[in-house]
Amino acid sequence: MIAETIHGIWSRELKLESFSNDDDFFELGGHSLIMTRIQQAIAAELGTEVPMDELFRKSTVAGIAAHIEALQQVA
Amino acid sequence: MTLKGLRTPLPDDTAVHRVVEAHARRTPLATALTCGDEELTYAELNARANRFAHHLRGLGVGRGTVVGVCLDRTPELMTAVLGILKSGAAYSPLDPTYPRERLDLMLANLGRLELTVVSPATQDLIGHDHTKVLDIEALAPRLDALPAEDPQTDVTGDDLCYVVFTSGSTGTPKAVAVRHEGWYNLLNWLALEYGLDERSSGLSVSSFGFDISQRGLMAPLFTGAPLHLLPSRSFDVAMAHRIIGRRRVRTLHCAPSTLYLLAERDLAESPRGGPLTGVDHVFIGGEPLSVPRIEEWAALEGNTCTLLHQYGVAECTDVASSYALHDYPRHRTGSAPVGRPVYNTEIRLMDETDDGLAEVPDGETGEICISGTSVGEGYLNASPEDAERFTTFDTGDGQVRLYRTGDRGYADADGNLVVVGRVDAQVKIRGMRMDLGDVEHGVRASAAVEDAVVLALPGGDGGARLVAFVVPAAAPLDTRALRAGLLAVLPRNMVPEQFVELSAFPLNPNGKIDRKALAASAV
């Protein structure tokens, strides 16, 4: 569910249709400004602010989704 | 055509770190540094840096040596930077967002390199082929036993203070060395020209490897103000914006692309603007400013922030000229001016003639050439071609040392410099200056690539983007694999956004690669 939302955000911001949840953001052609837009979209759509360092460290849809799920379980 | 900065005498002692020592004596309890919840006073920061400096001196570090610094924005970063300067050595910022291979290439080109300061978070980025490493966090318990007093060194304004890297045409980063006197002159000009003092707190947001970051880190400490560090390796606009509000930040030094993000965030928070409108000065430089992207925010009623549009090159201590933007509608199209020279600095607009380099007539466009106190020491490892950028010129009143920037510009009717472009293949991508040859070299080095041409083409958001035109060794080209390979050797901003696969390059009638046709073919 969370992964689907993030996949949709990546697809929109990277202007890509087919990629997997394990594909690396930078290998898909992403850069820092795009990641900033993704950060904002995640905050708006999922109500969670993920730090940029965390987004870069995970750098896959699956990794970021797992991070957000872990945060929500703590909360 | 010559633009002259105000001639302002400098003190005999222009060692930058001694200004910080003076603040530590005068206002020991004032806040020098914050990073997240951590806070250090001037006395504490100075004592930490002193202990580190004494340790370095025990290792043989001192005048004439260079120490690499690969650290995140943490209190240890400033302990290291100040400690290295106090030891008498120069520091070289090694950006922890760069891949290990690139950092290795940089270290290999640092002459007089003594060692590199790392932390557990960065140690994997620094290979041991070209440097010894020193883990500043592991060292902490041993430093407590060392004296907290300022080390006595005979550092003068002629000694090097930092060495930053810029991209070179052959795929080898160039080490640019700057002297204390030039840096002191820049910081002194900032303080006097813009009335910066102990209230002028700053937030450091830019990537550590850039020359603008050295200024952003040192300017608050030079004026006795608090330096706030963004506790994040990458630029995090949400975090930066929160700190600007919470810490009442008064000055920022950043690239336009950073300001756009902050201004958008500020407007999103409130249509009347947020804490960014309460910043006194934002010093922007490093790439051309797009006025329409900040105009809505800048024109807000009650916005007391002054934007300074600056021009400069690392080779001449970061900033050469500055312009206070007020009349935004006037600069909606075209290039906003970059103003007048820094103190003790002259800017000449020149062209190559049969008699050598000569000034162009007033109002005409020429190559921007810089002379005066700002001109740096030069490259530590230059090719003869690069070294030639530093030359001498007879002004009629005598010989001056001159740096040819490779940028072209003219002086407008008000005597302000306007930059119009480059004479060579250098471009700016998201604030980072690079040579397209450096990127091409990286792309061609891949086994999957037969030949490649890289162009900087207009991007969707007003900036430029890199497009690589590739003739693959075997079709079809695996773009993903190529990009992954490049990410391992080049800084992210230097990795092309788009790859266009071709079976051969279009040629113009002279038999050369037709770059215009290539540019037109990329959509």
β partners of residue B401: B392
Domain boundaries, chain A: 2-74
Percent of chain B with pLDDT strictly greater than 70: 99
- In A31-70, the residues whose Cβ lies within 8 Å of chain B are 31-33, 35-36, 39-40, 43, 49, 51-53, 56
- In B96-135, the residues whose Cβ lies within 8 Å of chain A are none
Kindly state the helix (H) or strand (E) to which residue B77 belongs, with its residue range. Answer: helix B75-87
Q: In chain B, what are the domains?
A: 2-331 (3.40.50.12780), 426-521 (3.30.300.30)
Provide the phi-psi class of B82: left if phi over 0, else alpha when psi is between -120 and 50, else beta. Answer: alpha
The reported pLDDT for the residue numbered B421 is 82
**Nearest chain B Cα distance for residue A48, angstroms:** 12
- Tens of pLDDT, residue by residue over B182-235, are 999 999 999 999 999 999 999 999 889 999 999 999 999 999 999 999 999 999
- Tens of pLDDT, residue by residue over B110-158, are 978 999 999 999 999 999 999 999 999 999 999 999 999 999 999 999 9
The reported pLDDT for the residue numbered B321 is 98
Distances (CA, A) of B33 to B77, B230, B248, B383: 11, 11, 14, 40
The reported pLDDT for the residue numbered B429 is 87
Contacts of B236 in chain A (CB under 8 A): 39, 51-53
Pairing mode, strands B464-472 and B202-204: unpaired
Token pair of B204 as six digits? 């450091």
Does residue B523 have a pLDDT over 70?
A: no
Does residue B263 have a pLDDT over 90?
A: yes
Superfamily the domain A2-74 falls into: ACP-like (1.10.1200.10)
CA distance B137 to B36: 18
Helix, strand counts (H, E) of chain B: 14, 28
Does residue B19 have a pLDDT over 70?
A: yes
Does residue B76 have a pLDDT over 70?
A: yes
Q: Does A16 touch chain B (CB under 8 A)?
A: no
Nearest Cβ partner for A32 among B238, B430, B487:
B430
Contacts of B492 in chain A (CB under 8 A): 26, 31-32
- Tens of pLDDT, residue by residue over A28-64, are 999 888 999 999 999 999 999 999 999 999 999 999 9
Q: Please state which of the ranges B105-109, B112-116, B216-220, B457-461 shows the lowest mean pLDDT.
A: B457-461
Question: Which residue of A15, A20, A27 to mutate against B (max B Cβ within 10 Å)?
Answer: A27
| Mean pLDDT rounded to a whole number for chain B | 93
Contacts of B237 in chain A (CB under 8 A): 36, 39, 52
The reported pLDDT for the residue numbered B171 is 81
Q: Does A22 touch chain B (CB under 8 A)?
A: no
The reported pLDDT for the residue numbered B358 is 93
Token pair of B80 as six digits? 């290291």
In the structure, what pLDDT confidence band is assigned to residue A75 with cuts at 50, 70 and 90? low
In the structure, what pLDDT confidence band is assigned to residue B508 with cuts at 50, 70 and 90? confident
Edge-to-edge strand list for the sheet holding B378-379: B133-135, B113-118, B66-69, B90-93, B160-166, B174-179, B378-379
Q: Does B185 touch chain A (CB under 8 A)?
A: no
Q: Please state which of the ranges B350-354, B420-424, B494-498 shows the lowest mean pLDDT.
A: B420-424
The reported pLDDT for the residue numbered B168 is 79
Provide the phi-psi class of B384: left if phi over 0, else alpha when psi is between -120 and 50, else beta. Answer: alpha
Does residue A74 have a pLDDT over 80?
A: no
Residue whose C-alpha is closest to residue B78's, from B50, B51, B49, B57 = B49
Q: Are the C-beta atoms of B28 and B41 separated by less than 8 Å?
A: yes
| Mean pLDDT rounded to a whole number for chain A | 93
